[in-house]
Chains A and B, each alone.
Chain A
Amino acid sequence: MSTESTAQGAELSAESIERELLGFLEAKTRTTLTPDQDMFASGLVSSMFAMELVVHLEQTYRVAIVGADLKLDNFRTVQRMTELVLRLRAGSPAVGHA
C-alpha cells in the first residue's frame, strides 16, 4: 500500500488528507466525490464499507478511532473525516497496533 509515506509526514494538512481520502473513495466506489458530499445520503456507504473506512483512516493516519468517535456523523463527508483525523492526531498519541 502507498500509505506509509502519508503516515510518516510530520505535517498533515487538511488539503492533503482530503486529497488522499477522495482518491481512496474514488477507487473504492468508482464515483467522483466532493469534500462536502454526504456519502450516506448518496447511498455509497454500507456498514461493511464504513468499517473499511475506519480501518483505512486508522492505518493511514496512525490514529485509533474507538468509542464515541465511531458515530456515523464523523464519516458522513470527506471534510468530516478530515476533521476527525486532525483532531485525533492533535489530541491522542500515535497508536502502534490494536
Chain B
Amino acid sequence: MPDRHVGGPAAGDRLADGFALLDSLVDGRAEAWDLSGEIPLEVLRTAGERGLLCAQVARELGGLGLSSRDNGELTAHAGSLCSSLRSVMTSQGMAAWTIQRLANPDQSAALLPELVGGKLAAVGFSESGAGSDVTAMTTKIEVSGDSVVVTGHKVWMTAAHYADLLVVFGQCEGGAAVVAVPASAPGVHVERVADPLGCRAAGHANVRFDSVRLPLSSLLGTPGMPLPLLVTTALAYGRISVAWGCVGILRACRHAAARHAASRVQFGKPLHEHQLVAGHLADLYADEQVAAQACAHASACWDAGSPDQVVATVLAKHVSAGHAARGAAAAVQVLASAGARDGHVVARAYRDAKLMEIIEGSNEICQLILAQHAVATAQ
C-alpha cells in the first residue's frame, strides 16, 4: 500500500537515473566545494532541470513524481555525497511543497514547472529574533490594492545565495502569509553568511526585504492564515528531507570508517580487530540502520496519506540528526589524523551533522513535540 506504485511503473528507473546523475554531477568534487564554499551554479541548474532537487513534483508539471520513499532514497544518496548539495535539495523541495500546499492552481501551474526547469528556490522563516519561536517573526506582508509589499530581514536562508525565487513567510492581516519573491526584485538584498560551521557550500544567506513591491499574484494562499500551521506544514517536508540527508551522512561515515579500519594496521593487526574500534563500527552501522528505518516509516506514512506522518516525521528527523552527529564523531575518531582536516568526508560529516541537530526544528524542539505526543497517547 505505501509508496512504490505512487511513482508509477518507471519510478525505479527514474530513481536509478537520479542516483547516476547525482554521482556524475558531484564527481568527487564535494571536498573542493566544501573548501571553496561554492557549488558551481551549472551543477545546481542541471540538477534542477532534471527534477532532482524537488523530485516529488508531479509528472504533469514536469517533475519526476517520485514517492516520498523514493525521494528519500535520492536525498540520502545526495547526503552521502555532499551535504551542501543535499541542503540545496531540501530548500528547493520545501519551496515546491509550500507552493503546492498554499498556492492556487494558476500559481502552482506557473511556479512548479520553473522549479523543475532549472530555477532555484529558497525558503525564509528565521529572523534574528525568531528562531525556534517562529511566531515572533516581524517580517510584514502588506496587501495594498493589486500589490503586495514585503518588509523584513530573514537570516540563514539556505540556498538563498543561489536562488532565483525566495519563498518568504511573514505576518499579514492578523495572521500570516507567504509570498514568492523573485530574488531579482528591487529591494531584495542577499548577503551570504560568512564561514558557516557546516554545509559550507549550501549558500546560506541573510536576506533583507526593503519594501519589496510585487503583483498580488505573488501572494500564496490568502492573508491572515495561521502562522504555526503554515510553518508546520512547510517544515514537515524540510524535516523529512533533512532526516534522509542524515541517513546519507551516516552511510558515508560508515563506509569511510569501515574501509579505514579494514586497511590500517596498528599493533600488528587491522584496526577493526581491535575491539574498541570494532565497537565504533558496530555503533555506526546500528545508527545508520535505525535512522534509515525511522525515515522509511515516516515516508511510508506520507505515501499512505496517514496522519501519523506528522509525528513520524519529527521522530525521523530527531533520530537521524542525533545519530548522524554521534556517528560522524565516531567516524572522525576511527580515522583520526587520516580524517581530521577540512574537506575530508568524515570532517565534513562532523560539521554538517551538527548543523542538522539545529535546523528544521532543533533537537530540543523535536523533543518537546515528541514529549507532547507521549503525554497525549499515554495509557
Give chain B residues whose Cβ lies under 8 Å from the Cβ of A98: 56, 100
Contact of B6 among A49, A50, A97 (CB under 8 A): A97
Q: Smallest CB-CB separation from B233: which chain A residue?
A: A51
A-facing mask of B343-365, CB < 8 A → 1, else 0? 00000000000000000000000
How far apart are B234's CB and chain A's nearest CB, in angstroms?
Answer: 11
Contact of A66 among B101, B305, B308, B311 (CB under 8 A): B101
Q: Does A1 contact B (CB under 8 A)?
A: yes
Contact of B372 among A46, A50, A70, A72 (CB under 8 A): A46
Give the docked Cα–Cα distance between A28 and B308 (Å): 11
Give chain B residues whose Cβ lies under 8 Å from the Cβ of A50: 226, 228-229, 232
Report the stretch among A15-23, A55-63, A83-91 that lies at the interface: A55-63
Contact across chains for A47 and B101 when beta carbons are under 8 A apart? no
Contact of A55 among B100, B305, B369, B376 (CB under 8 A): B305
Contact across chains for B307 and A59 when beta carbons are under 8 A apart? yes
Q: Using a Cβ–Cβ cut-off of 8 Å, how many residues does chain A contribute to the interface with B?
A: 25
Q: Does B24 contact A (CB under 8 A)?
A: no
Give the docked Cα–Cα distance between A98 and B96 (Å): 12
Tally the A-B contacts, defined by beta carbons under 8 Å. 81
Contact of A51 among B103, B306, B310, B372 (CB under 8 A): B310
A51-B233, A97-B6 known; A72-B226 Cβ under 8 A: yes
Contact across chains for B221 and A47 when beta carbons are under 8 A apart? no
A-facing mask of B108-136, CB < 8 A → 1, else 0? 00000000000000000000000000000
Give chain B residues whose Cβ lies under 8 Å from the Cβ of A55: 305-307, 309-310
How far apart are B99's CB and chain A's nearest CB, in angstroms?
Answer: 10
Q: Does B225 contact A (CB under 8 A)?
A: yes
Give chain A residues whose Cβ lies under 8 Å from the Cβ of B26: none
A66-B101, A97-B6 known; A52-B229 Cβ under 8 A: no
Give chain A residues whose Cβ lies under 8 Å from the Cβ of B6: 97
A-facing mask of B74-110, CB < 8 A → 1, else 0? 0000000000000000000000000011111000000
Q: Does B286 contact A (CB under 8 A)?
A: no
Contact across chains for B104 and A47 when beta carbons are under 8 A apart? no
A-facing mask of B290-307, CB < 8 A → 1, else 0? 000000000000011111
Contact across chains for B102 and A47 when beta carbons are under 8 A apart? no
A51-B232, A59-B306 known; A71-B100 Cβ under 8 A: no
How far apart are A12's CB and chain B's nearest CB, in angstroms?
Answer: 17
A50-B229, A67-B103, A72-B226 known; A56-B369 Cβ under 8 A: no
Contact of B102 among A30, A49, A58, A66 (CB under 8 A): A66
Give chain B residues whose Cβ lies under 8 Å from the Cβ of A59: 304-307
Q: Does B220 contact A (CB under 8 A)?
A: yes
Q: Does B266 contact A (CB under 8 A)?
A: no
Q: Does A68 contact B (CB under 8 A)?
A: yes
Q: Does B330 contact A (CB under 8 A)?
A: no
Q: 20 A-B contacts, Cβ less than 8 Å apart?
A: A30-B376, A46-B228, A50-B226, A50-B232, A51-B229, A51-B233, A51-B310, A52-B311, A54-B233, A55-B306, A59-B306, A66-B100, A66-B102, A67-B102, A67-B222, A68-B222, A70-B102, A71-B222, A71-B226, A98-B100
